[in-house]
Amino acid sequence: MQKSLHIDPGKCTGCVQCELACSFENEGVFNTAKSRIKVFTFHQEGRFVPYTCTQCDEAWCMQACPVDAIVINAKTGSKDIIEDRCVGCKVCTIACPFGTVNYNQDTGKVIKCDLCGGDPACASACPTAAITYIDADTTGLDRMRAWAAKTDNTAQASA
């Protein structure tokens, strides 16, 4: 069973525990600048939205890499960077339409979410369950149910 991160922005409080857990898990330091997940703040609305690599099926980052440094992890389905192969050319950062592949100046290599090998630190650290690691086949179920409920209410109102 393939799993994926499910993000519910409505539950995010902007505490950045996910960013801190990610940076510590991957870099050994509590430094949000080194995190592979970011919390975007909508200041005017007082809302927060965590975002990270969506592990696209198409994986433009992987296709763009001239040295084949991005490979599919057979266990998790994540697109992982083989650091020894990465030459730091940043072509993958340009190819990613979501801006979730980033350059690490300390190493001269790129970094992106690799789902922590199947136990994402961000999901474990999130105190409000805004980030969960669930069966990939059910990630859109809540939205489909909400839409169905909305259309059902509309149908009843017009009857």
Q: Please indicate whether the domains covering 1-52+119-159 and 56-112 agree at the CATH topology level.
A: yes
CA separation for the pair 32, 16 (Å, rounded): 8
Q: Quote the pLDDT of residue 141.
A: 63
Residues 6+ apart with CB under 8 A from 102: 36, 93, 110, 111, 112
State which fold the 1-52+119-159 domain adopts: Alpha-Beta Plaits (3.30.70)
Q: Quote the pLDDT of residue 76.
A: 94
pLDDT-based confidence at residue 142 (cuts at 50, 70, 90)? low
Closest CA to 52 of 125, 109, 123: 123
CATH architecture classification, 56-112: 2-Layer Sandwich (3.30)
Q: Quote the pLDDT of residue 156.
A: 59
The pTM for the full model equals 0.83
Q: How do residues 34-88 score in pLDDT, each as one tens digit? A: 999 999 999 999 999 999 999 999 999 999 999 999 999 999 999 999 999 999 9
Is the pLDDT at 153 greater than 80? The verdict is no
Sequence ranges of the domains in the chain? 1-52+119-159, 56-112
As given in the structure block, the two tokens for residue 27 are 């870099």
CA separation for the pair 41, 112 (Å, rounded): 20
Mean per-residue pLDDT of the chain:
91
